[in-house]
Amino acid sequence: MTTAMTTTSTLTEHEFALPSPTSKTAPADNFEIQDGTFPSTSQKLDKATLLKLVSAGFSFFVAGVNDGSIGALIPYVIRSYGITTAVVSSLYAASLAGWILAAVSNTHLSQRLDLGAMLALGAALQTLAQALRSWPTPPFGLYIATFCLTTVGQAFQDSHSNTYVASRKGSTAVHRWLGFIHAMYMAGCLVGPFAGNGIASSTTDERGESRWYLFYTVPLAQGVVNLVLVGVAFRDSMGFVKRTEEAGDVGEVRDGGEKKSARKLIRDALTERSVWLLSLFFFFYLGTVVTAGGWVVEYLVEARGGALAQMGYVPAGFSGGCLLGRILLPEPTHRFGERRMIMLYCVLCLAFQLVFWLVPNIIAASVAISFLGFFSGPFFATAISVGTRIFPADVSTTAISFVFVFAQMGGSLFPIITGVLGAHVGVAVLQPMLVGLITATGISWLLVPQPQSKTD
């Protein structure tokens, strides 16, 4: 989910950090009071803050619908354009290009545009991309380009929405709010396959070919609602970041009297060892879930002989498992310790992946992939929570955005490798690929520095 930029939404999910140093938090949020302390967890949220949290959650839902539909639609795209799995993998390459573009531009933009303006820009780009996809069989080059556009929009909106939620560090319920918005992403990933496969398998043109592109009218409508909701909820921060004597010139922030430009923030973030280690974990983790969700339908159709109309719903089982995992597992993960619980989940994911591989039964495969989704569900929010506590405060925003980028690199690179290898040796290469990725995810988690305490 769907499923991360200088933080927002990913992430994803495409799914978070501390607020941008120059972004303003609306006074109505009541996140901080006059004496510099934060409100207690018993303090009720006002309507303005609640509306912003709903908007943040809905942005993740929209991203999830988009990302969750890819696996169900890929077989139809392959057959509609008459291309191979290697060629269709270019949509993941376009997504990677979008994340890189967002990583380069986000720090600079977020120091000039206020929070609401960044969120609105991200929502507008996603809506534009869905509009370009929804007309009859768009040219393949244009269709691929829209994945870059969608990714940039998601990066801006989801990362800053993530940031807004994670900035509630005065409350011990931050992990629950993060769990909520990332659960909304997986709820979107659950809806995506049902909507995508349902429309693609039931609508045909005069030649009897699937009109799969009609699915994109669904995320287009959601995109319009998303844009309106952002405009209403964050209307108090829709302008430019103002230049103030305290903050220094636009494009710079102060750190103990020292001005830091966007370039220096990026350089400082990339010199932190913890940034690279957490990025490695996300690189393999997102590579696992995107590869599994993106290629499971084609695998079950080609390697297991399943019917396309029925197999298109299997990614919904995977996404449904992730959704339940993000709802049910954050509390025990937080209570019993992030390091040991994520390692336990990795072992369980590997066990169910081996069932998926070694038991030649479509029903068993569908159940196993759902459990794999369930136990991998809390990975994202848990690792983001750890990241906000181990990164230096002055570069945390920029650091999380680059973690997001490296995550999306894995989420783009490994599906591409799977598609290219699948074109030469068959899509059954998916199975050893997933085993290796899950193993690498567990090993990389052991390398991530852990916070000294859960309340650090």
Q: Which fold has domain 46-241+254-447?
A: Growth Hormone; Chain: A; (1.20.1250)
DSSP code string of 247-305: TBSTTEEEETTEEEEHHHHHHHHHT-HHHHHHHHHHHHHHHHHHHHHHHHHHHHHHTS-
Pick the closest to residue 338 from 227, 443, 249, 451 (CA basis): 451
According to DSSP, the residues that pair with 248 across neighbouring strands are: 244
Note the pLDDT tens digit of each residue in 96-109: 888 888 878 887 88
150 vs 45, more confident: 150
Torsion-angle region of residue 450: left (phi > 0), alpha (psi -120 to 50) or beta?
A: beta
Residue that wins the pLDDT comparison between 70 and 103: 70
Per-residue b or e along 368-384, where b marks 16 or more CB atoms closer than 10 Å to that residue's CB: bbbbbbbbbbbbbbbbb
Provide the phi-psi class of 27: left if phi over 0, else alpha when psi is between -120 and 50, else beta: alpha
Between the ranges 73-77, 119-123, 384-388, where is the mean pLDDT highest?
Answer: 119-123
Asked if residue 347 has pLDDT above 90, the reply is yes
pLDDT exceeds cutoff 80 at 446: yes
- The burial class, CB within 10 Å (0-12 / 13-18 / 19+), for 46 is exposed
Measured distance CA(445)–CA(456) in Å, rounded: 19
Is the per-residue pLDDT at 7 higher than 80? no
Q: What is the pLDDT of residues 394-413, one digit of tens each?
A: 777 778 777 877 887 888 88
Contacts of 216 (CB under 8 A, 6+ apart): 130, 133, 134
CA distance 453 to 456: 5
What integer pLDDT is reported at residue 262 of this predicted model?
Answer: 64
Residue at token pair 């590579």: 287
Q: Over 60: is that where the pLDDT of 21 sits? A: no
pLDDT score of 261: 66
Q: Which helix (H) or strand (E) holds 254?
A: strand 252-255
Q: Which range, of 86-90, 245-249, 254-258, averages the lowest pLDDT?
A: 245-249
158 CB-side CA count, 13 A: 37
pLDDT at 137 over 90: no
Domain boundaries defined on the chain: 46-241+254-447
Q: Tell me 393's DSSP state.
A: G
- Indicate whether 33 pLDDT > 60: no
Kindly tell me the sign of the dihedral angle through the C-alpha atoms of 53, 125, 3, 316: positive
Q: What is the pLDDT of residues 138-177, one digit of tens each?
A: 899 999 999 999 999 998 988 888 778 877 654 446 667 7
Q: 234 vs 48, 53, 229, 443, CA distance in Å?
A: 9, 10, 8, 40
Instruction: Return mean pLDDT, the chain.
Output: 80
Q: What is the pLDDT of residues 169-208, one digit of tens each?
A: 544 466 677 778 878 888 898 888 889 888 988 887 777 7
360 burial (CB, 10 Å; 0-12 / 13-18 / 19+) is: exposed
Q: For residues 47 and 50, what is the distance between their CA atoms, to the nearest angstrom? A: 5
What is the spatial distance between Cα 197 and Cα 327, in angstroms, rounded to a whole number?
25
C-beta separation of 62 from 223 below 8 A: yes
Task: Tell me the whole-structure pTM to 2 decimals.
Answer: 0.74
Q: What is the pLDDT of residue 253?
A: 45
